[in-house]
Chain A
Amino acid sequence: MAQSSTSDKIVKGVTAFGRTGKATVTGLIDGISFIGFACIILWQSLYLIALGRRHAQPVRLRHIAAEIHTAGIQAIPVVLLMASTIGIMLSIQGIYSLRVFGAETQVTFGLALSIPREFAPLITGILVAGRSGSQLTSRVGSMRLNGEIDALSVMGISPLRYVVAPSLVGLIVSLPILVAIANIAAFGAAGLYINIVLGIGPTAYWADVLSIVTLVDLMHSFGKAVIFSMLISLTGISIGMGVSGGAEVLGKATTSSVVTCISAIIAADAVFALVL
Chain B
Amino acid sequence: MATDKPTPIIVSNLKGGYNGVPVIHGCNMTIEPGEIVVIMGGSGSGKSTFLRHLIGLKAPMEGDVELFGKSLYGVSEMERLSLLKNIGVAFQSGALLSSMTVAQNVALPMIEHTDLDEETISFITRMKLDFVGLLGKEDLLPSELSGGMLKRAAVARAIALDPRLTFMDEPSAGLDPVIAAALDELIIKLKTSLGMSVVVVTHELDSAFKIADRIVVLDRGYIIFTGTVDEIKNSDNQRIQNLINRIAEEEEFDPEAHLKRLYGEI
Which A positions have Cβ atoms within 8 angstroms of B? 55-57, 142-143, 146-148, 150-158, 162
Report if B256 contacts A (CB, 8 A): no
When the two chains form their complex, are residues A156 and B98 in contact, meaning their CB atoms are under 8 A apart?
Answer: no
CA distance A151 to B160 in the complex (A): 14
Interface of A is mostly: helix
For the complex formed, measure the closest distance between the CB of B158 and the CB atoms of chain A, giving whole angstroms.
9
Encoded as 1 (CB less than 8 Å from any A CB) or 0, chain B from 87 to 116 comes to: 101010101111000000000110011000
- A55-B112 in contact (CB<8A): no
- In angstroms, Cα B97 to Cα A143, docked, is 8
Question: Judging by beta carbons under 8 Å apart, are B56 and A153 in contact?
Answer: yes
**In the complex where A155-B108, A155-B112 touch, is A150 in contact with B82 (Cβ < 8 A)?**
no
Closest Cβ of chain B to A186, distance in Å, is 35
Min Cβ gap A69→B in Å is 14
Interface string of B73-84 (1 = CB under 8 A from A): 000011001111
Partner of B82, one of A146, A152, A154, A156: A156
With A56-B113, A156-B113, A157-B112: A151-B82 Cβ-Cβ less than 8 Å: no
Determine the distance from Cα of A180 to Cα of B134 in the docked complex, in whole angstroms.
49
- Asked if B98 contacts A55 (CB within 8 A), the reply is no
Q: For the complex formed, measure the closest distance between the CB of A29 and the CB atoms of chain B, giving whole angstroms.
A: 15
Contact of A147 with B93 in the complex, beta carbons under 8 Å: yes
Answer whether A155 and B98 are a contact pair too, CB < 8 Å, given A57-B78, A147-B93.
no
Report the minimum CB–CB distance from B71 to chain A (whole Å).
Answer: 16
Chain B hits for A158, CB < 8 A: 77-78, 81
Q: Which residues of A contact B55 (CB under 8 A)?
A: 154
User: B85–A151 contact, CB under 8 A?
Assistant: no
Measured CB to CB, the nearest residue on chain A to B86 is A156
A-B contact pairs, 10 of them (CB 8 A): A143-B98, A150-B57, A150-B91, A154-B55, A154-B56, A155-B108, A156-B84, A157-B112, A157-B113, A162-B112
**Pairwise interchain contact B81-A153, C-beta atoms closer than 8 A:** yes
- The answer to whether A147 touches B95, judged by C-beta atoms less than 8 angstroms apart, is yes
A148 lies within 8 A of B81 (CB): no
**A155 / chain B contacts, CB cutoff of 8 Å:** 84-85, 89, 108-109, 112, 157
Most buried by A among B91, B98, B112, B113: B112
A60 and chain B: residue at smallest CB distance:
B112
A157→B114 CA distance, assembly (Å): 12
List the 5 closest pairs (A to B, CB-CB), nearest first.
A156-B85, A147-B95, A151-B95, A55-B78, A156-B84
Which one, A57, A146, A162, contacts B95 given CB within 8 A?
A146
CA distance A154 to B83 in the complex (A): 9
Report the nearest B residue to A156, measured CB to CB: B85
**Shortest distance in angstroms between B64's beta carbon and chain A's nearest beta carbon?**
17
Please give me the residue from chain B that is nearest to A139 by CB atom.
B99
- Distance from A264 Cβ to chain B, minimum over Cβ atoms (Å): 27
Q: What residue of chain A has the Cβ atom nearest to residue B142's Cβ? A: A146
On chain B, the residues within 8 Å of A162 by CB distance are 112
Known: A56-B113, A156-B81, A156-B84. A146 touches B98 (CB 8 A): yes
